[in-house]
Amino acid sequence: MRAKTVVLLLTLTLGGALLVAQARKTLDIYIVDVEGGNATLFVTPAGQSVLIDTGNGGANAARDAGRILEATRDAGLTQIDHLITTHWHGDHFGAMADVAKQIPVRAYYDHGPTVQPQPASEEFLKNVYAGLIAQAKHTVVKPGDRITVAGLDWRIVSSGGQVLQTNLPGAGRPNPYCASFKPQDVDKTENAQSVGSYITFGKFRVVHMGDLTWNKEAELMCPNNRLGTTDLLVVGHHGQPVSNSDVIVHALRPRVSIINNGTRKGGQPDAMKVILNSPGLEDVYQIHFSLLGGQEYTVPGMFIANTFDDQPEAMPIGAWTPPPQGTQAPPAPVHNGKAYWFKVSAQQDGTFTVTNTRNNFSKTYRAGQITSSN
């Protein structure tokens, strides 16, 4: 009796975090809505956490940090153990200072200095990031590196313009999609530097490639598929067609893809055709309806997490055509109000559930029901 009372008091004293950590048996992944940026939070059953990217900066930093913090609270976190910044674009590092002010970050990972110096990223790296990493662990990662997270096998597969040169366990078969691959123009931006990760929890697999672009996808996946397949693909580059070639999307054979697009960023027809045509695919989820795709290239509303502040009565059927170059486009629909995340809860056996927190639509993908690969 007495020991029980002590344990109970201790638990109450330490607050909800411990209760959550003790109760959790799943790997939980929060795909946070940062309006066409990226912020993806992983929380292990033991309460270890990895955040990939911190959303937008400037006038949107407080909003996006707030949304990320809400996810950390939902998960019962008191710190972020690992923060990976995929690359030095403002929709990926923007709210970092605001996040770090509100929750301690223990270790930082990135691909190294920027290859595309811009006033905002240079200022950030010099005056903000340098200070943050001075007080924590900091690692520049390269392909083949692992991030030590108990319960997960976290492999870096791209970073700093380099890609993995060896096969992940069980992978390495010839990739049939390479034969018809057509390169795009060389991408000299930060996107091609993105830190990409292949994460395994028991039999459950997730791929997150940041904004890695088209030609780098082929460097990684051709002629042999060095990654193998995945259960969940966090779609690259917000679902834009300068990424998402079939050499990666189709070869990975995701059961489920989740797109972190914005109201008018990503989710374009050419990328949606590849994503929705992926072999073995069961469902696609979008963090937003994208005007660039219209109803023609989107998923049913049940699979969309967020609306606009000023929601129109009906959504356009066709894809929105941007005005000709040099003309001012009308402002994109705003969404600063209540935001909803997708929560993925994965079990060791490979079963996972995706929940749309806007409408509580939830679907479970059972292990062992994977379409056989050929």
Residues lying near Zn ion in the complex (CB under 5 A) are found at 91, 211
Minimal distance in Å, beta carbon 20 to Zn ion? 30
CA 171, CA 226: separation in Å to the nearest integer?
A: 5
Identify whether the C-beta of residue 32 lies closer than 8 Å to the C-beta of residue 19. no
Rounded to 5°, angle at Cα 142 from 137 and 143 = 135
C-alpha distances in angstroms, 360 versus 42, 256, 331, 346? 20, 17, 30, 17
Minimal distance in Å, beta carbon 260 to Zn ion? 8
Q: Kindly tell me which of 91 and 231 has the beta carbon lying closer to Zn ion.
A: 91
Q: Kindly tell me which of 162 and 189 has the beta carbon lying closer to Zn ion.
A: 189
Minimal distance in Å, beta carbon 86 to Zn ion? 8
Residue pointed to by tokens 């890695």 = 212
CA 82, CA 89: separation in Å to the nearest integer?
A: 19
Q: Kindly tell me which of 91 and 110 has the beta carbon lying closer to Zn ion.
A: 91
Minimal distance in Å, beta carbon 259 to Zn ion? 12
Q: Kindly tell me which of 49 and 240 has the beta carbon lying closer to Zn ion.
A: 240
* Joined tokens for residue 266: 């990503």
* Joined tokens for residue 196: 């990409």
How many residues in the chain?
374
* Joined tokens for residue 53: 């990217």
Q: Kindly tell me which of 33 and 91 has the beta carbon lying closer to Zn ion.
A: 91
Backbone angles phi, psi at 275, to 5 degrees: -65, -45
The distance from CA 345 to its chain's CA centroid, rounded to whole angstroms, is 15
Minimal distance in Å, beta carbon 293 to Zn ion? 17
Q: Kindly tell me which of 262 and 294 has the beta carbon lying closer to Zn ion.
A: 262
Minimal distance in Å, beta carbon 198 to Zn ion? 19
Minimal distance in Å, beta carbon 37 to Zn ion? 6
Q: Kindly tell me which of 28 and 35 has the beta carbon lying closer to Zn ion.
A: 35
Both ends of the chain: CA-CA distance in Å? 59
C-alpha distances in angstroms, 72 versus 75, 166, 222, 307? 5, 34, 37, 22
Residue pointed to by tokens 């903000």 = 128
